[in-house]
Amino acid sequence: MDDLIQTIAVYALPVLFAITLHEASHAYAARYLGDSTAYLQGRMSLNPIKHIDPFGTIIIPILLYVATSGAFLFGYAKPVPVDFGNLRKPKRDMAWVALAGPAANFVMALLWMIFAIGLAFASVNEPFFMRMAQAGVLANLVMFAFNLFPIPPLDGGRVLTSLLPNRYAYKFSQIEPYGFFIVMGLVLLKVLYVWMVPVMTAAHSALKLIVSPLTIFLS
């Protein structure tokens, strides 16, 4: 129980930011590109309460953590409503709206990494903050890679739908009602890790490359 409480304390803020900014980014991108659905429903907000799904964001992750001793963790927020028909160029702009969420996670992972570098430079000896920074990087990389998996309704699925020719895009989009179950099955069979690990590794390498000048400057 102590381990669970410590893990929740370390991950609570990073996960809250990761979920909130991911969903809010979809809403901001959609409004910028012509659809105000999320804005009119109050979802274009940095208020976490607007995006948290009590079951998917809180109950499921805790139950899975306890049931698997931390080996498997999964959760989700309330998806931001987007009427793609309202976008200026629906098929093209669908991809930009979808990419806004993972892009926000990549930027947040970068900021957490910079925070960790700052802690080390300032010789902050409190391990809680360093663990939180590491959790921020990990949580956002997980969200970045997971949401880019090319199955709708995940963001990667919408990007792929946008890129496919119209005939194939329509057929591919028909799997969306079953997408969640397909993804969960792939997670449970550990097939999704074949996607997650290389994408997270590549993103982490890119982040280290971006912060390398700062690391050299402060060393």
Report the pLDDT value the prediction gives residue 68, as an integer from 0 to 100.
57
Report the pLDDT value the prediction gives residue 69, as an integer from 0 to 100.
60
Question: Are 77 and 54 within 8 A, CB to CB?
Answer: no
Name residue 143's amino acid. Answer: M
Nearest alpha carbon to residue 140 among 215, 204, 59, 184: 204
Q: Which three-class secondary structure string do you get for 77-112?
A: CCCCCCCHHHCCCHHHHHHHHHHHHHHHHHHHHHHH
User: How confident is the prediction for the chain on average, in pLDDT?
Assistant: 87
Question: Are 81 and 37 within 8 A, CB to CB?
Answer: yes
Distances (CA, A) of 133 to 2, 42, 116, 201: 20, 30, 5, 17
Report the pLDDT value the prediction gives residue 148, as an integer from 0 to 100.
95
Report the pLDDT value the prediction gives residue 164, as an integer from 0 to 100.
94
CA dist 196 and 142 (Å) reads 7
Q: Kindly give the parts of the chain with pLDDT less than 50.
A: none
Whether the ω angle into residue 152 lies within 30 degrees of 0, i.e. cis, is: no
What are the two backbone dihedrals, phi and then psi, of residue 86, each rounded to the nearest 5 degrees? -85, -15
Q: 68 burial class (0-12, 13-18, 19+ CB within 10 angstroms)?
A: exposed
What are the two backbone dihedrals, phi and then psi, of residue 90, each rounded to the nearest 5 degrees? -50, -50
The CA angle 211-212-218, to the nearest 5 degrees, is 95
Q: 39 burial class (0-12, 13-18, 19+ CB within 10 angstroms)?
A: middle
Active site members? 23
Distances (CA, A) of 165 to 58, 86, 99, 133, 210: 39, 20, 19, 42, 35
Report the pLDDT value the prediction gives residue 131, as an integer from 0 to 100.
92
Domain limits at 83?
A: 2-218
Report the pLDDT value the prediction gives residue 44, as an integer from 0 to 100.
85
Q: 101 burial class (0-12, 13-18, 19+ CB within 10 angstroms)?
A: buried
Q: Is the pTM of this model over 0.85?
A: yes
Residue in this structure with the two tokens 């976008």, named with its chain if needed? 87
Structural domains counted in the chain: 1
Report the pLDDT value the prediction gives residue 65, as an integer from 0 to 100.
64
Dihedral (C-alpha) 29, 31, 35, 40: value to the nearest 10 degrees?
130
Helix, coil or strand: residue 70: coil
Name residue 150's amino acid. Answer: P
